[in-house]
Structure 1
Amino acid sequence: MNKLTVLEIEFDFDGDINVIYPVILSDEREVILIDCGYPKFLPLIKAAAKINGIDISKLTKIIITHHDFDHMGSLAEFKRAYPHIKILSSIDDEKYISGKEKSLRLQQAESIYNKLPEKQKESAKKFQDFIETIENVQVDVCLRDKDYFSCCGGIEIIATPGHMPGHISIYIKESKTLISGDALVVENDKLMIANPQYTLDIINAKNSISKLLDYEIDRIVCYHGGIYTKDIRKSLENIISE
């Protein structure tokens, strides 16, 4: 039986309560986690999976939507605990996840550092140091736009560059569900494009949203914000036109 489980991971980050929503896809043969949280999040994800009747040790694959620290932060931890897990990412993000090239988020942070007011530089340097602690992991399978897997209700990879150039979203054909990574967020009950401050190419990001209009979507799972179901097509059109 095909199953899509949205995990709700609540945590404290620098004194603020945050929530992320990784997804687990499963059927008789596969158990696939999409994004795996911040560093040291394995216990949190394991506990949330257990509440939903899923044994995290049965994972077969982890798909990373992009290499930001909150999406791949615990990837090395998962790989050490469960070496059999296959790691999948876009072909454009593989070099950053594996450590062949410097994280684009770190490059962005370094590029703006000297332009910051002096009072902001201490926290900015801490952020850079934090990103540098993210462990790299070898990617087993590189994904391309329109790649399709018949497991778990039919998985289609959608290249959605913008937030990062190698960002991907995942469409589940059977349930008409889009797992959007950071291509979209839900804030104050509204579907929105991810924070422009952290979106490396806002024009490309909007072009990626336009692509989603080609899909029949009944539900969007945003990594930040959770499940969105209200008038999806109109919401996407509004984002594009803004």
Structure 2
Amino acid sequence: MRNLRDAGGFPTEHGGRVAEALLYRGGSLHELTPEGAARLAELGLRTVIDLRSAPELEVWPDRPFGEQVRFLHLPTFPVRESAAEHAEDAAADAAAQRSEERSEEPSQERAAARDERDAEAGEETLDALYAFMSATAGPAIAATVSALAQPDALPALVHCAVGKDRTGVTVATLLSAFGVSDADIVADYHLSNTGLGLDRGPVFYVDEHGTERRSRPVHEGLILAFLASLRATHGDATQYLLAHGVTKSELKTLRAAFL
């Protein structure tokens, strides 16, 4: 699997340290090889939390490993697009493609339309994506945190498609609630660029609807804006989690386990 790493090891503002080998973050398990499955089994995982959408799971289901691992589906995004909207996108792509074929130069209109639809097309669209997550992802992030607090849930792996954006805001919120500094959260967040090869430029891929997308490197402004948004609305990450359904008992359990 891609972009796998331990989410622990960071000092906190209270003088403690986030324990390692309890929470891992990464990309999806649909390409998991037998060797990869064996290595994941060595981590002793008890829970895998998948933040992807239902269509992503349908096209690229996680490959199971280990008899004791519990798989949970807690999508970060609410349902935003209908089949009709996807059909309209496909029709627009087809029309733009026909237009492009009649021209020697690539269609700027087609590229612009693709970028507008693509949640990871470029910095402006990434900004919009993170603003959208700031406004809507609270219940999903809280559900993930609550799941980690359940008996025998740890060690756990949290992942989305590539472990960059949805996983990034989820882990950042939890680390912030533990008292990890923004500087350390940003440093961990930036590791996805190297883990995905984005430090060398954009990476093209085909999404679950068969549409070509372009994934760009993350930058600190994205995650800092997300953290600033939750602080502006709730004061801090702890209050943000409590407001979206995490209980004080669950936070106490997690802090006892991790710190």
The structure with the largest strand share of the pair is: 1
User: TM above 0.5, one fold?
Assistant: no
The answer to which structure, 1 or 2, has the higher relative contact order (CA under 8 A, 6+ apart) is 2
- For the aligned pair, the TM-score class normalised by the smaller chain equals 0.3 to 0.5
The structure with the largest helix share of the pair is: 2
Q: Tell me the TM-score normalised to structure 2 length.
A: 0.34
Q: Tell me the TM-score normalised to structure 1 length.
A: 0.35
